[in-house]
Structure 1
């Protein structure tokens, strides 16, 4: 999962970044509204953590920007205890949830996961994400093919999840790289590591007699087909 955290408190921002990174997330940071808008126009995120009080204005302006630009990311507002009006306005403007400072990072993690399930997994609050013979456990990060445990890395799990929640959509190598490794990949001239990860994932699925739903769309990227390939 890819998260953008808009937070100007450097100590809190570092804590959020380190905690979510250790949990296996791609976590990018922004300190100002201007920086957040620039990132939102350039990259896609599963969830946005939105502080209200920022050096260059009110974080709710970012929420209105997200709405105007039709950005589909989930939004979690982070606010001070006394900011009740901002919480209410934020929820009315389309935010998915709010969290009051100070908070435990474990609660932040739980809220992010809940938002992701509602927004990206068709409202499914269960920890299992399934498609035909494939089953993904979003709590343990285990993948199963016909109930056989798939021997994959965390990145390969995230890649398979990314494919499954974007069935039938062509995903470019750039989009896959940015989603799984962060915005620094935007400046890389060579994205062969994406090809290698896709190749490894397909090989491991075939080893347990799983169906290969991943199509290579030459010159564009990859597509996870929801129909069974013809023999």
Structure 2
């Protein structure tokens, strides 16, 4: 489950990353309005933790932009602004929760889980393409009704492609989306090849009517 943290206080940002990583989440961070807007426009997240006061803009504007384009990703506002007016404004713009600073990390975790759970209860987000059905809620994959066992990254890769059928995905963009900011530490992107190779074999073994096709020198697409 991938979470975006939009927070300009670097110490708090790092504390949240360290804590939530230990809880099994994949984290991406943005330290200002511009970075937050770019990541929210390009990638899908299970939840967004959003500060209101950013160096180059308002977190409220980011929330408004997200909702205006029909994106229902759960958003938990984390802010030193604890006034009722700010809380009401955030909730009216479509925030799922509002957590004033300072807060305990255990409470933040509970708020994240609650927001994601409420979102999933209202959305049937299973994805079907050809004879493959992917269920994000329990991270399961069915091919003609038979359970296809995938590891965590194989599931994430298939999910990324199945919601973008027939669309060419650049290798670097795929790496950032699945492996997060940690991909910057990798010497190369060759690890993607082995993940996709294993995934393709499993799909073939189950007679899936989909395949991930390599586009030489560019990336991949689901066909």
- The TM-score normalised by the length of structure 1 is 0.71
Pairs within 5 Å for 1:62-73: 62-63=62-63
Question: Offset at 1:196?
Answer: 1.2
Post-superposition CA distance 1:178-198 (Å, at most 9, x none): 011112324645211111111
Unaligned segments of structure 2, at least 5 residues? none
In structure 2, the CA distance between the partners of 1:71 and 1:28, relative to structure 1 (3 Å rule), is farther
Post-superposition CA distance 1:24-63 (Å, at most 9, x none): x421234x43xx5236547833233202256787533544
Alignment partner for residue 107 of structure 1, among 103, 106, 111?
111
Superposition CA RMSD, Å: 3.6
Question: Would the aligned equivalents of 2:78 and 2:99 in 1 still touch at CA under 8 Å?
Answer: yes
Residue of structure 2 in register with 1:27 after alignment: 27
Post-superposition CA distance 1:120-144 (Å, at most 9, x none): xxxx712633323212232322222
- Paired with 1:4 and 1:71, the residues of 2 have a C-alpha distance of 18
- Structure number having the greater helix percentage: 2
Instruction: Determine helix, strand or coil for the equivalent of 2:154.
Output: helix
In structure 2, the CA distance between the partners of 1:86 and 1:154, relative to structure 1 (3 Å rule), is same
- Paired with 1:198 and 1:104, the residues of 2 have a C-alpha distance of 34
Unaligned segments of structure 1, at least 5 residues? 119-123, 226-231
In structure 2, the CA distance between the partners of 1:41 and 1:187, relative to structure 1 (3 Å rule), is farther
- Paired with 1:79 and 1:73, the residues of 2 have a C-alpha distance of 18
- The TM-score normalised by the length of structure 2 is 0.73
Residue of structure 1 in register with 2:97 after alignment: 98
